[in-house]
Amino acid sequence: VQIAILLYDRLAALDAVGPYEVLSRLPGADVVTVGERTGPVRSDTGTLGLIVDHRIDDITTPDVVVVPGGPGKTTHLADGPVPRWLRAVDTTTTWTTSVCTGSLILAAAGLLTGRRATTYWRSIDELAAHGAIPVRERVVTDGKYVTGAGVSAGIDMALTLVAHIAGDAMAQRLQLTIEYDPQPPFDAGSPATAPADVLTALTT
């Protein structure tokens, strides 16, 4: 299976690298990074460079597409090369997936219309504006569309995707391979659990 991970300027790097770390270890998977141009893109903070190995125009029939989010998503909400590519490859993908605000790109491209999907906690209302049915869950599967919540949720999304593709035992094997036994030092990762003052600091 060919798995194309989209990279673009001002993405949230973990959105892409979390799924990469899981999916690149799936036996038989051919993971490729794709973007409008080959060469470096910079993350949203500007301090990390990632390399695009393939032009989107050269990857025409990926089995799986992964669309990360981040501030740079805005560029790809209007029609352009990336939404056009997503619509084209989606006609033959087995799975079309996203992390964080990557689902807004998919939705704006018209691929999530009437479908249940999730996104970054701060952007959940925008999903509806683009025609999707927003769901506040960590990972949402609707048909062949698998969307993850914010940033770090790409790991959970990718393990769910592996279970869909290759079964639970393989997903468990990859989970153990990346020692994904999360033990956050605080219970503050969701607006539902974060201390009120922490949530207020981010939303006002």
Q: Which of 82, 100, 139, 158 is catalytic?
A: 100
- Measured CA to CA, the distance from residue 157 to residue 163 in angstroms comes to 10
Contact pick of 4, 6, 11, 12 for a copy of itself (by CB under 8 A): 12
Specify the length of the chain in residues: 204
Residue that is written with structure tokens 């018209």 in the block: 110
For residue 92, give the 3-state DSSP assignment: coil
Q: Which of 24, 90, 110, 166 binds a copy of itself (CB under 8 A)?
A: 24
Nearest CA-CA partner of 123 in 111, 113, 135 = 135
For residue 60, count other CB atoms closer than 10 A to its CB: 11
If we measure between CA atoms, which residue out of 34, 33, 40 comes closest to residue 10?
40
Task: Give yes or no for residue 95 binding a copy of itself (CB under 8 A).
Answer: no
- Examine residue 138 and tell whether it contacts a copy of itself (CB under 8 A): yes
CB of 156: closest distance to a copy of itself in angstroms?
A: 5
192 catalytic residue (yes or no): no
CB 72 within 8 A of CB 44: yes
**177 near a copy of itself (CB under 8 A):** yes
Binding site for a copy of itself (CB under 8 A): 12-14, 17-18, 20-21, 24-25, 30-33, 40, 43, 45, 47-51, 53, 100, 120-121, 138-139, 149-153, 155-156, 159-160, 163, 168-169, 171-173, 175-186, 188-191, 193-195, 197-199, 201-202
